[in-house]
Amino acid sequence: MNNIVDVSIDFDYFCYEDLMWDWGHNEVNDIFKNYAWLARYIFAEKDLQEIITLGKADFHPCDLLSKLARKSIKNQAKSLIIGDSHALIEPVLTASKADTLISLDAHIDYWPREGDEVTCANWMRFIKHKRIINVIPKFRTDKDYKYISENSKTGYLGGILHVSKERVINNIFICKSSAWTPPHMDKHFIEMVNEFKNKVPSDCYINIIGDVMKDRMEGHLMINISQEREKAQQVVKECRSKNAI
């Protein structure tokens, strides 16, 4: 195996989730896309803005790169790609030359394939990494996941990343996952992205797919998956032309 790794960060890793309001998600269905979080805010038994906070996250998202560095995973990213869904970012992941993927996610997106359609739930079945490290938040356990890749291991950040030799980050992918992350957390997502943009090497290729940097508390965000996927394919071409993948 080579010593380069990709890092995928789903922002829902930092957003505490509970069955009280987790009554379904969908990136395509207009009802979920347009009204789900509004309904959750209205009908939840408690104030979600007080429940879903960074105070319940394992750590502040802006601290991730320094935590990885302490585990000998160095930030030498050639590309930083930001989008709303792994269904959009999958083309970039598939084109990567890294052997290992470190995935921070509240969900393990290894659900069965249905033909050749890539979704936010099954994208891991399409990538070519030989090894996947699933870093899950502490409000989850490995028993919460029905499907897990055979070439992966799952655990919490403090215990799972034991690195025997120095590794370097090749690509960083950040997903907002609007269907899973409440609008009042958007300000923290934006803060995290800006922090990463400031910390990657000066020659790192940065591409933001779609309108993920919009704060939904200031207006509703609409996402057209098919249109944004076309943009993701264009990102792959640009990365390859710049030797950034």
Name the residue with higher pLDDT: 79 or 227: 79
- Range 215-228 average pLDDT: 59
Count of domains observed in the chain: 1
User: What integer is the mean pLDDT of 163-185?
Assistant: 87
Please report which confidence band the pLDDT of residue 192 belongs to, taking 50, 70 and 90 as the band edges: very high
Alpha-helix residue ranges (DSSP H) falling in the chain: 30-43, 48-51, 64-69, 86-95, 157-160, 186-199, 225-241
Answer whether residue 33 shows pLDDT above 90.
Answer: no
Query: Which of 35-44, 55-64, 145-154, 224-233 is the most confident on average?
Result: 55-64
Per-residue pLDDT band at 222 (split at 50, 70, 90): very low
Q: What is the mean pLDDT of residues 73-86?
A: 92
* Residue span of the structural domain in which 145 resides: 4-241
The pLDDT assigned to 199 comes to: 94
3-state percent helix, strand, coil for the chain, nearest multiple of 5: 35, 20, 45
